[in-house]
């Protein structure tokens, strides 16, 4: 499988390094903006792939297409307009697009990207290595009540999730990226997050570390996420508390992951061990498996993209909670094309009705003054305004029939 990189970030660099080291996959090219710095150019040199520098033109990514890639890997970009423009051009190539998650810190950008590719053969697949890890998959089955390795009844009904993270000092953007990835992991186990409250002691202009985030998930599951800075050995541990017992997943960045049991006295036996999910062949193979599944069923990517979008909504709630220092409630109603259409029509209808009422009142006053001043031509024009207003309202009401042209995704 031939991969083409568009942009470079930490997550796409991991994919590129794994592809470059793999024998059965190849890196077709790396596409960088004309304004890419020397640091990015030096970072891609060891990959051994052609580097294309430039800006998309009327022909789209023509030079990228000439390398004949099978998959496009898109890096994160906080410039929403540039990101949307790139995806619009890439969608014309009708290739699957693996998207670094989070590709942007705005949920609206995620929904707009989804709409951009609907009329093409392209698909969007978020890169979610934590969700795909077999340890998380088995924990998810435990929560769902499935028996895994004879320990299916060890946890019972899930009641609480605690995820403690340690990182080296980083930027605010990197902090938000880590939270978005962890939220996707938590949502895999607990479902949608409904409430978010963030607490920290740093000044408003400083990085909010240490950071504590309290969340509530579906079915009254409590979630706590914490982040502290360390000098070495970053990683985390995920603790699940259930009605019958507790489990802990040790997630060291540079060591193997371990699934251990918990008892009142502390950690118990190591139940299972997995290789660390850091940059490597395993993450790449899991990505290839998802791409092959999507090739057989393009709709298989939709749940993953919707989950990624929901995770970014939680990220936005975190930023709002940090800014306003209060609890933020998330409502997942009003999403999707149908709901967006209804909301837009309702807003336009209210605005149009108020504007036409004001225009009619002003026209009535103007008509009276025009007649008093003998301005017959102006009076004739003003007399037509109520009819024009009525016509506009009829046109607006007929626009509601556009709903029937929006395809039903369920069908």
Q: What CATH number does residue 188 fall under?
A: 3.30.360.10
Q: Tell me if 370 sits within 8 A of 382, measured CB to CB.
A: yes
Q: Are residue 50 and residue 149 in the same domain, yes or no? A: no
Q: Are residue 138 and residue 265 in the same domain, yes or no? A: yes
Residue 307 inside a domain? The answer is no
Q: Are residue 90 and residue 155 in the same domain, yes or no? A: no
Q: Tell me if 314 sits within 8 A of 330, measured CB to CB.
A: yes
Q: What is the pLDDT of residue 256?
A: 83
Q: Select from 101, 127, 153 the last residue of a domain.
A: 127
Cα 314 from chain centre: 10
Q: Select from 60, 94, 127 the last residue of a domain.
A: 127
Q: Are residue 261 and residue 357 in the same domain, yes or no? A: no
Residue 264 inside a domain? The answer is yes
Q: Are residue 81 and residue 154 in the same domain, yes or no? A: no
Q: What is the pLDDT of residue 146?
A: 40
- Both tokens of 99, joined, read 């998207």
Interhelix angle 172-190/134-143, rounded to 10 degrees, is 40
Q: What is the pLDDT of residue 410?
A: 46
Q: Rg for the chain (alpha carbons), in Å?
A: 27
Residue 244 belongs to domain spanning: 131-277+312-329
Q: Tell me if 341 sits within 8 A of 402, measured CB to CB.
A: yes
Q: Tell me if 283 sits within 8 A of 73, measured CB to CB.
A: no
> What is the number of domains present in the chain?
3
Q: Are residue 141 and residue 115 in the same domain, yes or no? A: no
Q: Are residue 115 and residue 160 in the same domain, yes or no? A: no
Q: Are residue 325 and residue 341 in the same domain, yes or no? A: no
d(CA 335, CA 352): 24
Beta strand ranges found along 253-299 (DSSP E): 257-263, 266-274
Residue 121 has a CB neighbour count (10 Å cut-off) of 12
Q: Are residue 163 and residue 203 in the same domain, yes or no? A: yes
Q: Are residue 180 and residue 318 in the same domain, yes or no? A: yes
What three-state secondary structure class fits 133?
coil
Q: Tell me if 223 sits within 8 A of 143, measured CB to CB.
A: no
Question: Which of 38, 72, 69, 75 has its CA nearest to residue 53?
Answer: 38
Q: Tell me if 159 sits within 8 A of 222, measured CB to CB.
A: yes
Q: Are residue 64 and residue 150 in the same domain, yes or no? A: no
What three-state secondary structure class fits 14?
helix
Q: Select from 302, 329, 356 the last residue of a domain.
A: 329
d(CA 329, CA 193): 9
Block means of pLDDT (10 residues each) for the chain, 411 residues, are 90 89 87 69 76 65 88 92 90 92 93 85 90 87 60 75 89 91 93 93 74 92 93 86 87 82 74 72 88 84 87 94 90 60 75 85 86 85 86 82 60 45
- Local structure of residue 125 (DSSP, 8 states): E
Residue 366 inside a domain? The answer is yes
d(CA 194, CA 331): 7
d(CA 172, CA 158): 31
Q: Are residue 344 and residue 320 in the same domain, yes or no? A: no
Q: What is the pLDDT of residue 58?
A: 47
Task: List the alpha helices (DSSP H) in 117-203.
Answer: 129-132, 134-143, 172-190
């Amino acid at each position: 499988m031939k991969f083409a990189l568009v942009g470079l970030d930490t997550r796409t660099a991991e994919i590129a390094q794994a592809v470059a080291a793999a024998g059965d996959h190849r890196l077709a090219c790396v596409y960088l903006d004309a304004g890419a710095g020397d640091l990015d150019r030096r970072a891609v040199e060891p990959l051994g792939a052609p580097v294309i520098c430039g800006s998309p033109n009327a022909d789209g990514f023509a030079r990228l297409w000439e390398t004949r890639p099978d998959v496009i890997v898109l890096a994160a970009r906080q410039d929403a307009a540039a990101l949307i423009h790139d995806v619009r051009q890439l969608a014309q190539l009708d290739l699957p697009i693996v998207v670094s998650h989070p590709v942007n810190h705005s949920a609206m950008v995620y929904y707009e990207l989804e709409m951009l590719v609907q009329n093409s053969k392209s698909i969007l697949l978020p890169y979610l290595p934590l969700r795909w890890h077999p340890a998380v998959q088995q924990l998810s089955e435990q929560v769902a009540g499935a028996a895994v390795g004879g320990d299916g009844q060890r946890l019972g009904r899930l009641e609480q999730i605690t995820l403690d993270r340690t990182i080296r000092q980083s930027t605010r953007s990197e902090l938000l990226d880590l939270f978005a990835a962890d939220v996707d992991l938590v949502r895999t186990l607990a479902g949608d997050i409904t409430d978010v409250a963030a607490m920290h002691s740093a000044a408003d202009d400083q990085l909010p570390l240490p950071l504590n985030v309290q969340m509530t998930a579906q079915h009254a599951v409590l979630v706590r996420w914490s982040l502290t800075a360390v000098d070495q050995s970053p990683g985390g541990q995920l603790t699940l508390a259930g009605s019958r017992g507790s489990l802990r997943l040790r997630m060291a960045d540079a060591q193997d992951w371990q699934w251990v049991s918990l008892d009142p006295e502390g950690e118990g036996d190591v139940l299972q061990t997995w290789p660390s999910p850091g940059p490597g062949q395993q993450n790449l193979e899991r990505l290839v498996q998802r791409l092959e599944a999507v090739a057989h069923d393009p709709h298989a990517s939709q749940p993953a993209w919707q989950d990624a979008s929901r995770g970014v909504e939680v990220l936005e709630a975190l930023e709002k909670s940090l800014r306003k220092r209060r609890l933020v409630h998330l409502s997942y109603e009003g999403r999707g094309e149908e709901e967006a259409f209804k909301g837009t029509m309702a807003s336009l209808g209210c605005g149009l009705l108020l504007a036409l009422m004001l225009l009619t009142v002003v026209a009535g006053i103007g008509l009276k003054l025009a007649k008093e001043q003998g301005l017959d031509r102006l009076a004739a024009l003003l007399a037509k305004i109520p009819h024009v207003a009525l016509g506009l309202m009829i046109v607006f009401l007929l626009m509601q029939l556009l709903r029937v042209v929006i395809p039903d995704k369920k069908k």
